[in-house]
Amino acid sequence: MTAPMAPPEEVVQRIVDFLSLAERLKMELRHSWLSDGRQESVAEHTWMMSVAAIMLAPHLEHKVDIGRTLALITLHDIAEAITGDTPFFEESARRRDKVETEIRAMTTLAAMLPQQSAGELHRLWQEYEDGITQEAKFARALDKLEVQLQHNLADISTWTPVEYGLVYSKMDAECAHDETLRAVLQVIRGYAELKMASAGLTFDR
């Protein structure tokens, strides 16, 4: 049996160039801080989502393909290598135009890749955006849960006032479909409440 041939150099070169652009996610900062006071990068957010997916997948009410889930997580914010991150609560033109801007960014990213890789990039990104498959629903829930988990680990001074209310609104819809995810939400929300209470903050459900 003969070994498969390596792809042409041009194909490999295009993938390496794509990866070189994706490196920007290691530097792109989010509106979340770490427990040591450093701002979180998009890549770090994605890594924590991936760890959570591996740990929680065996306990889900609705089972998922963990490999597919990890692929969705890995690429769900890839457009931000071009667009940058936009906070969920930001009121601005870039927030209003986020969908259109990310679609243009994905077109640019796909054009960098050979056809087969570009097709897979588009399929995975669109699957996450559509949020229909069990894997996409799981990944989207983890996206929201990880944000609050990271906020709970950071100093309360890094929270903006609008984020007190998001404790009671941002996670629910994405976690509603699965009993395990609802349980995780309640634990994370409980820690958020303790954090706010210890800082003498009032909050509305």
Q: Does residue 104 lie within any of the structural domains? A: yes
The pair of structure tokens assigned to 160 is 């903006």
- Give the residue-averaged pLDDT of 163-185: 96
Q: Does residue 4 lie within any of the structural domains? A: no
pLDDT 10s digits, 103-137: 999 999 999 999 999 999 999 999 999 999 999 99
Q: Does residue 100 lie within any of the structural domains? A: yes
- The tally of domains found in the chain comes to 1
Q: Does residue 3 lie within any of the structural domains? A: no
Q: Does residue 203 lie within any of the structural domains? A: no
Structure pTM? 0.93
CATH number of domain containing 68: 1.10.3210.10
User: The domain containing residue 150 runs over which residues?
Assistant: 12-198
Residue 203's pLDDT is 67
CA distances from 57 to 63, 148, 200 (A): 7, 19, 36
Helices (H), 1-159: 9-22, 42-56, 66-75, 80-83, 93-96, 98-112, 115-130, 134-153
